[in-house]
Amino acid sequence: MAVAALRDNYVWMLRRGETAVAVDPGEDAPVRHWLERHALRLTGIAVTHHHADHTGGVDGLAPLLAPGGFVATSGGARFAGDRLARAGETLRFPGGVSLEVLAVPGHTRDHLAYRTDDGHLFPGDTLFRLGCGRLFEGTPAEMVESLARLRALDPGTAVHPAHEYTAANLAFALDLEPMNDALLRLREEVLALCRRGLPTLPVPLGEERALNPFLRLEDPAIRRVVRARAGLEMPDPVAIFATLRSWKDRFVAQVEGPRAPPRGGPT
Ligand SMILES: [Zn+2]
């Protein structure tokens, strides 16, 4: 379940029975309203990294936590009564939600991803639909390794990024590959969802592996584009990634979106 927050953030709510865990609450009010509307108890908060648009709601929601509930943090930001989540461990929240912790540095040094045992992935700002996070603190090599870690998960994994950036990312992907039929087909679907204010997420990892340029560093089609535009051969996936990332940083998407869904609306 996505709860829209701020301008284009999603707070993902994992529901089990009468309980729910919030991933990356950038604000507290929309989450509180959602919990009230669904008559659910909050049993946990999982934070992927320290940026304010992922943590701004934690202090306001923490008093609502049911007994035994806790805030799992990546360490870059700390909260009263929190718990440091460590890569490789599985967090067990009261009510039944459990999350495996993966370390995915690159966007920030402290960045974590969380995964449920039934195939839902919450990569925060590491992996977006058709894109990836900017490098604020980490290196291209770290980000390539982090993305490879996520790419290697089961292709049926449902990816739930923290932002609605799909339309802008699709514009960049099509700028790289204007003749990619799969991307062209996707454009109609994505723009229709954005026009209606609906999320384009989650997305199956298998689709991202086939279409997201940042997950296709070994793909001959992407390598051809980079060679042609950069004017030199780049055998190293890290160099390809750094080149793509620098182009994306400068790319201004001419799109109608991204548009966040109505604030606080469960979708
Ligand atoms: Zn961030």
Res 113: pLDDT? 98
Please tell me the distance between residue 125's alpha carbon and the centre of ligand 1 in angstroms: 5
Question: What does the pLDDT average to over 144-159?
Answer: 98
Give the residue among 192, 123, 196 at the shortest CA–CA distance from 163.
123
Q: Which residues surround ligand 1, an ion (CB under 5 A)?
A: 51, 125
pLDDT at position 233 is 86
pLDDT, tens digit, 9 for 90 and up, residues 98-134: 999 999 999 999 999 999 999 999 999 999 999 999 9
Ligand 1 centroid – CA 193 distance (Å)? 24
Task: Based on the residue annotation, tell me whether 49 is a catalytic residue of this protein.
Answer: yes
Give, in order, the Cα–Cα distances in Å from 63 to each of 59, 60, 91, 130, 150: 8, 7, 20, 36, 33
The band of 257, judged by pLDDT with boundaries at 50, 70 and 90, is very low
* Tokens 């996936």, located at residue: 237
Q: Are 251 and 244 in contact (CB under 8 A)?
A: no
Q: How far is CA 129 from CA 15, 124, 164, 171, in A?
A: 23, 11, 8, 12
Q: Which of 24, 49, 50, 110 is catalytic?
A: 49
Give residue 254's pLDDT band: very low, low, confident or very high (50, 70, 90). Answer: low
Distance 78 CA to ligand 1 centre (A): 16
Instruction: Indicate the pairing of strand 120-122 with strand 9-16.
Output: unpaired
Q: What is the mean pLDDT of residues 24-43?
A: 96
The single residue listed with the structure tokens 């449920």 is 116
Amino acid at 263: R
Which pLDDT value is given to residue 262?
38
Is residue 244's pLDDT more than 60?
yes
Q: How far apart are CA 150 and CA 156, in angstroms?
A: 12
Confidence of residue 29 (pLDDT cuts 50, 70, 90): very high
Residue 135 to residues 1, 144, 171, 213, 257: CA-CA distances in angstroms? 28, 11, 20, 16, 23
From first CA to last CA, the distance across the chain in angstroms is: 6
d(CA 4, CA 21): 15
Sign of the CA dihedral with 91 first, then 96, 97, and 98 last: positive
What is the number of other CB atoms lying within 10 angstroms of the CB of residue 24?
28
Rounded CA separation 105/95 (Å): 30
Tokens of 14: 């994992």
Angle at 21 between CA 16 and CA 26, to 5 degrees: 150
Model pLDDT, residue 143: 98
The amino acid at residue 147 is L
- % of the chain surpassing 70 pLDDT: 94
pLDDT recorded at residue 258: 47
- Cα of 128 vs centre of ligand 1, distance in Å, is 11
If one compares 6 and 233, the residue with the highest pLDDT of the two is 233
CA of 50 to the centre of ligand 1 (A): 7
How far apart are alpha carbons 150 and 159 in whole angstroms? Answer: 10
Model confidence band, residue 2 (pLDDT cutoffs 50, 70, 90): confident
Rounded Cα distance between 151 and 144, Å, is: 10
Kindly state the average pLDDT of the residues 189-207: 94
What distance lies between CA 25 and its chain's CA centroid? 13
| 200 phi, psi to nearest 5 deg | -90, 10
Say whether pLDDT at 51 is over 60: yes
Task: Please tell me the distance between residue 106's alpha carbon and the centre of ligand 1 in angstroms.
Answer: 10
User: Of these residues, 28, 50, 54, 111, which one is catalytic?
Assistant: 54
50: annotated active-site residue: no
